[in-house]
Structures are given as C-alpha cells and as structure tokens.
Amino acid sequence: MVQAIYTIQENTALTELVYKMVLEGDTSALTAPGQFVNIQLEGKFLRRPISVCDFDESTITLLYKVVGEGTEQMAHMTVGQTLDVLVGLGNGFDTAKSGDTPVLIGGGVGVPPMYNLCKKLLKEGKSVQVILGFNTKNEIFYEDEFKALGATVYVATADGSYGTKGFVTDVLKNLNYTYFYTCGPMPMFKAIETTVVTSGQYSFEERMGCGFGACMGCSCKTKYGNKRICREGPVLEREEVIW
C-alpha cells in the first residue's frame, strides 16, 4: 500500500451518473487487476473506496458512479486538483486459473475492474468473453473500450433497450467458458451462482471503513472463517464463499 498525492488529469462524464477520473502519480503498489484505491475527500471523515479500472507506469484510471455526497464531490473536481489516495489495497484477480476461454461478467459499477483484467488475460493469450449488464441503454459505458481490446462483448439490459433483454445470466447460460470472473451487486452474484458451471472468482462490493483491514467493518463469511473484503478480498474464490 502507498499513500501519496495524485493529480487529476481527467474527470469526465461517461453517462449521466458515471464518471471517468484519471490520476497521475505513483502506481508501484498496484500489482493485479481488481485492487482498489481509497480517496480522502475534504470534509469527509471516511475515505471513499473506488475500484481501479486501469493503470500504467504513471496513471490510474477510475470509473465511479455518483451515489452520494462523496462521489458528487468528486464529480465536480477539475483537472489539476490533487487528492490524497491510498493505492494498492486488496487482493486482486488471479489469472493463472482462467483456462483458455474465460468469461468476465460486470454489472453496473462492477464493470470497471473487468477492464484491466481483460487486458491482462488477452496479453496472456486467452480468448476472452465479456458480459456487461445494465438496467437500460442510457447507463451503458465501456462497451467500445472492451471491444477495442479484442474481447468478444455481450451487453444485457433489464428493460431490453439494448443488446439481450434480461440479465447477465441470460447471456451466460448460452456461452461456453473455462472459468468466470465477476464484479457487481449481490443479487447478480446469487443469480450467477445458480447459473455458472465452472469455478470462478467474485469481487465483492462492500461499504468500508478503513479500507486496509483494521476495523473489521467489511467481513464476509467463508468456509475458512470471516474474511475482510478490503484485506483478504475484494476477490474471493467461488468455492469458499458461504451465501
């Protein structure tokens, strides 16, 4: 984990509520797709945890949804402003178990961590399928970015306004795959759990206090005892989770 000051290079709206923020600074603590950062905001006691969408030698890309006062504050920040950020938090996805044709499933704000994971798997020579799930067409983001990487991309919308009408599982049940990776809301996870036919990894979205394992505020029951989503997670193996 690294705590440092980062400079905003970009902060633009992708949809009505989803924004893309690019931060410039130290990225040395980021070692795997699926890790997250924790951002200090002026006037807020708790930091805001945001999953990492992508990173390189000098920048971190975050995609976040405006859902409260903290993210609303972020949406009004401008290029050149600085942020105090904890970087390299959590354990990310393990690509060694993917097999040759993994499927990546992102629901809403669970889409961002799938992007860097997709890049890594493609670089490893895997044939990657991506399912993106949204409520409606106006909420869709990053479909073209995944396609540009070279992945096969499917989109499901609950209201049928774009792509497959229904949920990510309506696409998943018709695919062949060797392994799955997913991030999204708990109802989506429970539906996936009854649909998938392989092993896989879930990246959990939880409310967090400290973000690095001190407060025990984001524990999840597993077959091996309680695990902290911010420390032992956010990625957990399918076989260990107690639903």
| Domain span holding position 230 | 206-243
pLDDT band at residue 171 under the 50/70/90 scheme: very high
Regarding whether 199 and 114 lie in a shared domain, the answer is yes
Tokens representing residue 143 in the block: 């479909």
Regarding whether 102 and 44 lie in a shared domain, the answer is no
- Render pLDDT for 20-67 as a digit per residue (tens, 0 to 9): 999 999 999 999 999 999 999 999 988 889 999 999 999 999 999 999
Regarding whether 123 and 113 lie in a shared domain, the answer is yes
- Render pLDDT for 175-234 as a digit per residue (tens, 0 to 9): 999 999 999 998 999 999 999 999 999 997 655 455 555 555 556 666 656 656 655 657
Regarding whether 22 and 65 lie in a shared domain, the answer is yes
Q: What CA–CA distance (Å, rounded) separates 58 from 170?
A: 39
- CATH assignment at residue 235: 2.10.240.10
- CATH assignment at residue 84: 2.40.30.10
| 240 pLDDT more than 80 | no
Q: What is the mean pLDDT of the chain?
A: 91
Q: What CA–CA distance (Å, rounded) separates 121 from 99?
A: 10
Last residue of a domain, one of 89, 114, 138: 89
Burial tier of 242 (Cβ tally within 10 Å: 0-12, 13-18, 19+): exposed
Regarding whether 117 and 186 lie in a shared domain, the answer is yes
Stated pTM of the model: 0.92
**CA distance between the termini of the chain:** 30
For residue 94, give Cα distances in angstroms to 27, 98, 124, 202: 19, 8, 12, 11
DSSP code of 25?
S
Q: What CA–CA distance (Å, rounded) separates 110 from 197?
A: 21
Regarding whether 198 and 121 lie in a shared domain, the answer is yes
Neighbours of 27 (CB within 10 A): 20
Regarding whether 53 and 150 lie in a shared domain, the answer is no
Last residue of a domain, one of 31, 61, 89: 89
| 126 pLDDT more than 90 | yes
For residue 185, give Cα distances in angstroms to 28, 76, 215: 29, 26, 23
| 73 pLDDT more than 90 | yes
Give residue 214's pLDDT: 54
- CATH assignment at residue 121: 3.40.50.80
Nearby residues of 47 by Cβ (< 8 Å), 6 or more positions away = 38, 39, 40, 41, 86, 211
Q: What CA–CA distance (Å, rounded) separates 10 from 188?
A: 31
Q: What angle do CA 233, 28, 24 make, to 5 degrees?
A: 105
Place of tokens 């600085």: 82
